Amino acid sequence: MPLKTEPVTINLGPQHPSTHGVFRLKVTFDGEQIVDAEPVMGYMHRGTEKLAEERSYVQIVTLTDRLDWVSSMTNNLSYVRTVEKLANIDVPIRAQYLRVICSELQRIASHLIATGFLMQELGTFGGTPLMYCFREREKILDMFEMLCGARVTLSYMRPGGLIQDAPPEFWERLKIFTSEMPGYVDELESLISDNEVVLARTKNVGILSDRVAVDASITGPMLRATGVRWDLRKAHPYEIYNSLHFEVPIGSNGDTFDRYFVRINEIRESIKLINQAVEQIPSGPIRTEIPYFFKPPVGTAFSSVEAPKGELGFYIVSDGGISPYRCHIRSPSFINLTVLKDLLVGASMADLIVIFGSIDVVMGEVDR
């Protein structure tokens, strides 16, 4: 007797423990295997681009915090760099160094979250790796609190520089952090990287080829996991990345394990970057004063930085007024979801969660 199975359609989300926010996937299963997947987004659409048209240039910094709330620093950086490019504002060297230190700290925090939640989705109950990651992330958030008083939505940067200089305690904590962190990364890796079950669950799961990745505008660790050595910090050095030495880690075949592995190695490189920046940082002013309601000249500017999730770009059109005429956000999480269906079809339900976790999206940035 021939066996006949009927496809089952399941709504994963918008309320689901592993969708990193309110994300919905209409998935059709044949048994445990996925035959079709359709992402449905927009549950968190707050109209950031429209809101930006009604805010002054300085006020928009607070909107960018809420895009990808686990990496506010790089969001701020990308936005203020675009405004500086638009208005030709020079940034003092000390501010540039501090910006790099902050964005590298933020990268560590973001990658820790990505790794922790990936492990959570693999099913370590209560998430021992997740708790270890959060323990380290807390230290970074404490340091951010010293800088600007906030922990998550930071708004630390301004067009022209930073809001204030780092207090002396910050440097002490940073020194302790950078000396201890490599050990913690090794500990985390020894817990994860050689675990038989982790390897069985992540190796050769959700393979993305380099050609598809480049074609579909994939950026960030997801692109580098496919073996494409592309990092804006090296390819198009902004701020003072030119004077720092670091490697760009890449993966071998673009599977889930490689995505995790690239992130872990990027944490190591970020620590190196912070160490170099702390050694080189000069003293001096940290801000070029600009008026609160300043008016950049008429024109357009596009600029992007290497955010933890990928390339975060802003395209700002100015009509000479106090607020931008148009402010487009090129968000990495959103565009990285282009290939989601390719990765999912043919995988099983358990893989779905792992693949989605390894892409590392934050819904605030997808829906904007």
Partner 1 sequence: MNFNNIQNLINTLIPSLPSWIVFMSAAIFISFFVINAVVMTGALTVWLERRLLARIQSRLGPNRWGPFGLFTPIADIIKMIGKEDIVPSTADKKIFNLAPIVLLVPVLLVFAVIPMSSNSFLGQLNIGILFIVGVTGFNTLAVFMAAWSSRNKYALFGAMRGVAMLLSYEVPMALSIVSVVLTTNFILNIEGSSLSALSLVGIVEAQRIPFFILQPLGCLIFVTAASAEMSRAPFDMIESESELGAGYHTEYSGIKFAIFQLTEFLAPVATAAIISVMFAGGIRGLSIIPGSISLIAKIFIIVLIFIWIRATWPRLRVDQIMNFAWKFLLPLSLINIFSQAVLLQIFLSSSSISNTELWIIAGINWIIAAVSIFILAKVFGHKGRAKNIPIPSPLANMEFKSE
Partner 2 sequence: MSTILYPENLLEILPDDLKNSINDTNSDSISISPSEVLKFAKFFRNDPRLQMETIISLTGVDYIEFFEIVYHLRSMKRNTSMIFCTQIFDRSDPNLPSVSSIWRGADLQEREVFDLMGIRFTNHPNMSRILLWEGFNGHPLRKDFEYIDLTDKNNAS
Contacts with partner 1 by CB under 8 A lie at: 8, 10, 16-18, 29, 32, 119-128, 131-132, 135, 191, 193-201, 203, 210-211, 214, 226-231, 234-235, 248, 250-252, 258, 348-353
Spell out the residues 6+ positions from residue 232 whose beta carbon is closer than 8 angstroms to its own: 238, 304, 305, 306, 311
Q: Choose, by CB under 8 A, the member of 141, 191, 326, 345 that binds partner 2.
A: 326
CB of 106 to partner 2, least distance (A): 22
Chain centre distance of CA 72: 9
Told to check if 235 binds partner 2 by CB under 8 A, we report yes
Could you tell which of partner 2, partner 1, none binds residue 196, using a CB distance below 5 to 8 A set by kind? partner 1
127 binds, among partner 2, partner 1, none (CB under 5 to 8 A by kind): partner 1
Q: How far is the CB of 237 from partner 2 (least distance, A)?
A: 6
Residue (153 or 193) nearer to partner 1, CB: 193
Kindly report the backbone phi and psi dihedral angles of residue 268, in degrees, each rounded to the nearest multiple of 5, phi listed first. Answer: -60, -45
338 binds, among partner 1, partner 2, none (CB under 5 to 8 A by kind): partner 2
- Name the minimum Å distance from CB 232 to partner 2: 8
Helices (H), 246-311: 256-280
Nearest Cα to Cα of residue 281 among 101, 145, 103 = 101
Q: Is residue 254 within 8 Å of 207, Cβ to Cβ?
A: yes
**315: which strand partners?**
302, 328
Q: DSSP state, 308?
A: T
Quick check: 221 and 360 in contact, CB under 8 A?
yes
By the rule CB under 8 A, 368 interacts with partner 2: yes
Identity of the residue, 79 or 132, whose beta carbon is nearer to partner 1 in the bound complex: 132
Q: Name the residue nearer to partner 1 (CB basis): 83 or 185.
A: 185
User: Is 266 exposed, middle or buried (CB count within 10 Å of its CB: 0-12, 13-18, 19+)?
Assistant: buried
Cβ closer to partner 2: 53 or 189?
53
| Of 212 and 345, CB closest to partner 2 | 212
Any idea what the Cα angle at residue 70 is, between residues 68 and 76, rounded to 5°?
A: 60
Torsion angles phi and psi, residue 328, rounded to 5: -100, 140
Contact status: 41 vs partner 2 (CB under 8 A): yes
Regarding 218 and contact with partner 2 (CB under 8 A), the answer is yes
The three-state secondary structure class of 111 is helix
d(CA 54, CA 139) in angstroms, rounded, equals 36
Sole window of 176-184, 197-205, 245-253, 327-335 interacting with partner 2 (rule: CB under 8 A):
327-335
Q: What is the DSSP letter of 28?
A: E
Residue 248 · residue 223 · CB < 8 Å: no
CB of 43 to partner 1, least distance (A): 17
Give the residue with the Cβ less far from partner 2, 49 or 165.
49
Residues 176 and 206: their CA atoms lie apart, in Å, by 38
Stretch that binds partner 2, among 5-13, 57-65, 185-193, 300-308 (CB under 8 A): 300-308
> Using CA atoms, how far apart are residues 256 and 87, in angstroms rounded to an integer?
41
Residue 41 interacting partner from partner 1, partner 2, none (CB closer than 5 to 8 Å by kind): partner 2
CA distance 296 to 303: 16
Residue 134 or 315: the one with the smaller Cβ distance to partner 2 is 315
Question: Which positions lie near partner 2, rule CB under 8 A?
Answer: 41-42, 45, 47, 49-50, 212, 214-218, 228, 230, 235-237, 300, 302, 304, 311, 313, 315, 317, 325-326, 328, 330, 334-335, 337-339, 367-368
